[in-house]
């Protein structure tokens, strides 16, 4: 069973619970919070994801905030994180195939539950293509070049 870190702010809390329930028999989730709809600051949860990836607690993760934007910006401050904000299945497929994205970001106020499930399925099942993409992905890991 794949281990996935998952984190959200208050805007993503309900969708996070729905995702955990929907994928319960396929994924072991490491839940990094938040644990209620009380208002919190999304940078804390984006950074918690980055720390979990760097520590090797999970190879991949899912982030959720209202738009998916703030929390993905926060996680992407770390060069080891390649967080991709996806609003459809094609984006999820291509960011795995071309960017080797290791974190999927979702906007709970932007997409519906079923779309989120379909995006996650594509993210989990699509393999990185390597080849011509390798140099570019390595460049991302170097930060500013």
* Residue 86: count of CB within 10 angstroms of its CB: 26
Q: Is the peptide bond before 34 cis (omega within 30 degrees of 0)?
A: yes
Q: Which of 11, 32, 48, 106 binds ligand RB5 (CB under 6 A)?
A: 11
Angle between helix axes 113-125 and 89-99 (nearest 10 degrees) is 20
Which of 67, 76, 95, 102 binds ligand RB5 (CB under 6 A)? It is 67
Query: Which CB sits closer to ligand RB5, 42 or 100?
Result: 42
In the shown chain, the binding pattern of residues 28 to 47 toward ligand RB5, with x for contact by CB under 6 A and - for none, equals: --------------x-----
Catalytic residues: 65, 98
User: Alpha-carbon distance 94 to 89, whole Å?
Assistant: 9
Residues lying near ligand RB5 in the complex (CB under 6 A): 9, 11, 42, 65-67, 69-70
């Amino acid at each position: 069973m794949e281990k996935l870190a998952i984190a959200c702010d208050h805007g993503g809390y309900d969708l996070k619970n729905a995702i955990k329930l929907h994928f319960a028999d396929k994924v072991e989730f490491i839940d990094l919070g938040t644990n209620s709809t009380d208002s919190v600051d999304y940078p804390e949860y984006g950074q918690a994801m980055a720390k979990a990836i760097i520590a090797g607690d999970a190879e991949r993760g899912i982030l959720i905030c209202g738009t998916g934007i703030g929390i993905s910006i926060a996680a992407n401050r770390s060069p080891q994180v390649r967080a991709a904000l996806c609003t459809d299945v094609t984006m999820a497929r291509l960011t795995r195939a071309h960017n080797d994205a290791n974190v999927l970001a979702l906007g709970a106020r932007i997409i519906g539950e079923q779309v989120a499930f379909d995006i996650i399925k594509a993210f989990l099942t699509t393999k990185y293509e390597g080849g011509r993409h390798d140099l570019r992905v390595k460049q991302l890991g170097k930060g500013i070049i």
